[in-house]
Amino acid sequence: MQAGKEMGSKAGRGISAPIALSAPKLAAAALAGGAVFGLLAYLGIDLTRGEGRFAAVWLPNAIAVAFLLRVRLKGENIFLAALWLGNVSANLVVGDSIYRAAGLASCNSVEIIVALALTRRVISARPDMRQIGDLAWFSLAAGIVAPMISATLATMVLASGAGVNLGNWARWALADGLGMIVIAPTILVIGDALRHPRIPSPGRMIEWAVITLAGILVTCAVFFQSTYPLLFLIGPVMLAHAFRLGVLGTAFAIINVAVIASLATVYGYGPITLVEDSLGSQLLTLQGFVASSFLVGLPVAAVLHRRRAILKDLRDREALLSMLTDNITDAVIRYDSNRIATYASPSARDVLGRDPEDLLDKTANGDVHEDSHGAISDVLERLYSGEVETERFTFRRLMDGADGKPQWLEADCATTLDADTGKVSGLVVSARNVTHRVELEAQLIRARRHAENAAQSKSQFLANMSHEIRTPMNGVLGFADLLLKSDLGTKEQEYADLIFESGNTMMALLNDILDVSKIEAGQIVITDAAVDLEHLLDGCLKLHTANARSKGLELILDWDSSLPPRITTDPLRLRQIVLNLLGNAIKFTEKGRVVLSARPQDQLLTIKVTDSGIGIPEDRLDDIFRPFEQADGATSRRYGGTGLGLTISRQLAGLLGGTLDAESRNGRGSVFALTLPLVEADTGAAMLGADAPTHQADTVRGDVIPTPGDEPYMDENTMPRANILLAEDHDINRMLVCAMLERCGQYVTIAENGNQAIAAIADARGAGEPFDLVLMDIQMPECDGYDATRAIRAAGISPQELPIIALTANAFPEDVAATKAVGMQAHLAKPLVFQDLVTTLQRWLPTRIIEEAELPRRRYDDLPIPAVKHGPGNLSQPNSGNPPLSTKPKSGGHSPAGPAAHDALQEKWHQRRAEALDAVADAIRTGTLEGVDLDALASTIHKLAGTAGMFGETELGEKAAALERALRAQVSGQVRRQLAEELLQAA
């Protein structure tokens, strides 16, 4: 039955809704149906009346089922009741009692209902008798099951207390079953043909007429004679109809044979009358003959119809495939199991540049370009071995284009499998010309390489600019710092203060630009660690306390005690974001307070900075996070700033896996909310946030800025005199650092390159007066700071014995990491800030540092406010109670100190200036600017470029820097000569 359901689902074609008739029309239809049913029943009984009560072929049930399968009425029960009444009337007319008439009519009604129910359920509401499956299942349901049920009931009705007669059961089942199997399918086929008539061609009409007439004549010839048993001639007639006229012609033939055979037999004609027995035996023979005619004809016609439908479908598919392959732009090629081409579409001529016939009977990797032979062979091996089923690849075709340029093809390959063995039986390839795309891809690759090179050049340029700007600024800020600590008049003090503040402002701008560039280049590395969040936020507030107190603002830390004591994040990046937000809040708030709060929210940490400042217009909230943007132009002019702080902060927040948003209304303050994943740190994790909570470490440069009021306490006993080696090739920087060190009361020995530094350390150890600390420049001639440090550590001198501090203008994180990797302990960035130097000396010289736990805790309001605001490096004078000591001479020489330092610097500058200009003039005169080995001249110009700005000759420094870059780059000698002449003109 399940198979029948599946077949029925396929045949569930056109299930129509029941027809709703009005009451009068339904009554008329019921009366007409009942009358026709009664008439057919009477004729069936009367014409075949013999020794028994049963008709030879029972037509009414079959006709009723066929009608109701095609015309489904909404009042079907009323119609069935009318059929029952017609059947009862016919039975009464032939002499049955009322009991027998009603009982036998009920048996017929049951048969009709069962046949309809099974057909509709197993097959469909509209079975198609042209389909062999529908015909077979209908024959089983309506031709066998339903008649058997009806026969069983009829046998009990006919028994009437006289016992069950199995002969009656068989005769009833055969008569009704024969009618269902022969008549119902025939009527359904003819009815469907009449509903959808097709006008045949003249030739087809002639064929129909000839075969049908011949079939009638043969059937009449067989049945209107009783001499010869010629029933075997009917089989070929049925087959001729099945093969030539199809299902419809076969249905007509079955009707013709059944009617002629029945009439002839009833009237005593035909081969069946040769059966010398009772009329019942003759009727049984007639039933068998009609059934065999049906089985020879209609099933064969149904199978042939199915075959013709399959062939038509194949032809349609073949036509569609042919249309596609003939018109598709891709070249389609079919290869067999031996990798031989058996088909090539016409489009191969355009795609491959070859006639399709040239490709047939050739291997897939036969005539291919030598550049593509290896790739094609590898793909074929993977496909035919079964390693992959599909493959797409690009290769160069054999024939180049008309312009001589290479042509590139992209091929989609798919294997075909043998249905029996499952092995690869062939290959289908679809290829297209992708030369334009390959050229575009090549252009994109070149563009990407150019972009990568540009990004690398940008990074290198920024690194060079950082070095070039920091080198002169080291002198500017360092000497300005020393000037501020000397005895100056009020006016001079004010000028020095402005120099220092302007220098710090420029360095802040440089640092912000470098930060943005590094973040955009993806060169920021996030390092998660356990962080004491409360301590970190407390330190950030302390850093801004002085600025807040100077403006009369209240700083508040609102800490939620439900937060875990330690979280996992990057403390340096988090510190920078919070410091930027606090700095902005204090800068744009004239009165009131600034609140720093921390709250948990689900699995997130929300840190908010709330101020009562000027606020931000709502339509500008998104703009303030873009580089160099502020709320408006007036804000920038009034409060200053680069407009990069919030850009950096939001980008860093994204790197930390969070967000940074703002809420504000103009004139009503602002709220900046930093949201980060809240990950509680393991109890055993190392806590970076608490190791150095009192210093701000810049996330990009690695600079360390002391926090006001929290630096280690220092008095005259905390920094004893020590022996310090300064390795620096730049003479002005040497003089500056020496002046700073001697101000701290240190002995200074000078080395001008790495080799001198190594020798000085060895001599000092041999003399029993080892150095306590080394300040090591990185870029030095002969032997740089990296190689010198490696040699010192390789000699067995440990960091505990001799700390080495990097002193360089290269301040990127990778530069700091490189110094640590070779064995240095810390990093001081140029321009060198005096307080940074003091902090580093405190950290690494053998000195006693009073721990924070030994000092009384101070509230923010108790923190001292510097008398003069120079920036973070000038909070106090380290050794105000100890005047500088004289420098102790050592093998490497030493730098002078005292009032004559400024005059010495001026003299050294004029000497260096003259030497550099003479070298340039000599290079122009001798033509050496055309050469390639100009490192010596470039180094001389580098020193001029790095110090000119410190002595008021900014243009000269810019020209020198331009010439230096030209000397180190691969540019023409003409460009170098032009830059050299411009340098001399600027001098």
- For residue range 916-938, what is the model confidence (pLDDT) as tens digits? 888 888 888 877 776 656 777 87
Mean pLDDT of the chain: 78
- Could you tell me which residue, 820 or 847, shows the higher pLDDT? 820
Mean pLDDT lowest among 461-470, 496-505, 667-676, 899-908: 899-908
Q: What is the pLDDT of residue 933?
A: 62
Give the list of residues 6+ apart from residue 857 with CB closer than 8 angstroms, or none. none
Average pLDDT over residues 100-129: 91
Q: Check if the beta carbon of residue 244 is closer than 8 Å to that of residue 211.
A: yes
pLDDT band at 847 (very low <50, low <70, confident <90, very high): low
pLDDT band at 881 (very low <50, low <70, confident <90, very high): very low
Amino acid at 431: A
Q: Check if the beta carbon of residue 972 is closer than 8 Å to that of residue 929.
A: no
pLDDT band at 913 (very low <50, low <70, confident <90, very high): confident
Closest CA relative to residue 477, chosen from 238, 884, 830: 830
- For residue range 275-333, what is the model confidence (pLDDT) as tens digits? 876 666 777 787 778 778 877 887 888 888 888 888 888 888 888 877 877 778 888 89
pLDDT band at 950 (very low <50, low <70, confident <90, very high): low
Closest CA relative to residue 42, chosen from 80, 91, 79: 91
Q: Is 719 exposed, middle or buried (0-12, 13-18, 19+ CB in 10 A)?
A: buried
Q: Check if the beta carbon of residue 824 is closer than 8 Å to that of residue 806.
A: yes
Mean pLDDT lowest among 225-239, 278-292, 588-602, 765-779: 278-292
Phi, psi of 399 (to 5 degrees): -95, 125
Please state, in angstroms and rounded to a whole number, the distance separating the CA atoms of residues 739 and 877. Answer: 14
Q: What is the pLDDT of residue 186?
A: 82
Residue 410 β-bridge partners: 394, 432
Residue 743 structure tokens: 């101000």
Strand segments (E) across 518-643 = 529-532, 554-559, 566-569, 593-601, 604-611
Task: Tell whether the model's pLDDT for residue 51 goes beyond 70.
Answer: no
- Helix residue spans in 767-881 (DSSP H): 785-794, 813-821, 834-844
pLDDT band at 605 (very low <50, low <70, confident <90, very high): very high
Number of H helices, E strands in the chain: 31, 19
- Could you tell me which residue, 126 or 717, shows the higher pLDDT? 126
For tokens 């209304």, the residue is 665
Q: What is the pLDDT of residue 716?
A: 34
- For residue range 54-80, what is the model confidence (pLDDT) as tens digits? 666 788 999 999 999 988 888 888 999
Residue 675 β-bridge partners: 606, 659
The total of other beta-carbon atoms located within 10 Å of residue 542's CB is 20
Q: What is the pLDDT of residue 771?
A: 93
Please state, in angstroms and rounded to a whole number, the distance separating the CA atoms of residues 843 and 858. Answer: 23
Average pLDDT over residues 567-578: 88
One DSSP character per residue, 688-741 reads HHHHSTTEEE-TTT--EEEPTTTSPB--TTTS---EEEEE-S-HHHHHHHHHHH
Q: What is the pLDDT of residue 710?
A: 39
Task: Tell whether the model's pLDDT for residue 230 goes beyond 60.
Answer: yes
pLDDT band at 161 (very low <50, low <70, confident <90, very high): low
Q: At what angle do helices 76-93 and 23-47 cross, to 10 degrees?
A: 30
CA 623 to chain centre: 29
Q: How far is CA 702 from CA 47, 699, 815, in A?
A: 117, 6, 9
Q: What is the pLDDT of residue 878?
A: 33
Average pLDDT over residues 687-716: 37
Residue 800 structure tokens: 């505990």
Please state, in angstroms and rounded to a whole number, the distance separating the CA atoms of residues 816 and 778. Answer: 11
pLDDT band at 53 (very low <50, low <70, confident <90, very high): low
Q: What is the pLDDT of residue 949?
A: 58
Please state, in angstroms and rounded to a whole number, the distance separating the CA atoms of residues 927 and 652. Answer: 51
Residue 622 structure tokens: 């998104």
Q: What is the pLDDT of residue 228?
A: 86
Please state, in angstroms and rounded to a whole number, the distance separating the CA atoms of residues 28 and 537. Answer: 97
DSSP H or E stretch at residue 142: none
Q: Is the CA virtual torsion 943, 945, 947, 952 positive or negative?
A: positive
pLDDT band at 698 (very low <50, low <70, confident <90, very high): very low
The total of other beta-carbon atoms located within 10 Å of residue 955's CB is 14
Q: Is 163 exposed, middle or buried (0-12, 13-18, 19+ CB in 10 A)?
A: exposed
Q: How far is CA 82 from CA 18, 67, 69, 475, in A?
A: 18, 14, 17, 120
Q: Check if the beta carbon of residue 654 is closer than 8 Å to that of residue 571.
A: no
Please state, in angstroms and rounded to a whole number, the distance separating the CA atoms of residues 718 and 716. Answer: 6
SS3 160: coil
Please state, in angstroms and rounded to a whole number, the distance separating the CA atoms of residues 917 and 924. Answer: 11
Closest CA relative to residue 822, chosen from 725, 734, 754, 751: 754
Strand segments (E) across 18-137 = none
Q: What is the pLDDT of residue 691?
A: 39
Task: Tell whether the model's pLDDT for residue 422 goes beyond 90.
Answer: no
- For residue range 361-403, what is the model confidence (pLDDT) as tens digits? 888 887 788 888 888 899 999 999 989 999 998 888 888 888 8
Closest CA relative to residue 900, chosen from 892, 908, 911, 891: 908
- Helix residue spans in 864-934 (DSSP H): 901-926
Average pLDDT over residues 494-523: 71
Residue 684 structure tokens: 């055993």
Closest CA relative to residue 180, chosen from 130, 105, 129: 129
Task: Tell whether the model's pLDDT for residue 816 goes beyond 90.
Answer: no
CA angle 560, 562, 565 (to 5 degrees): 90
Q: What is the pLDDT of residue 3?
A: 39
Phi, psi of 923 (to 5 degrees): -65, -35
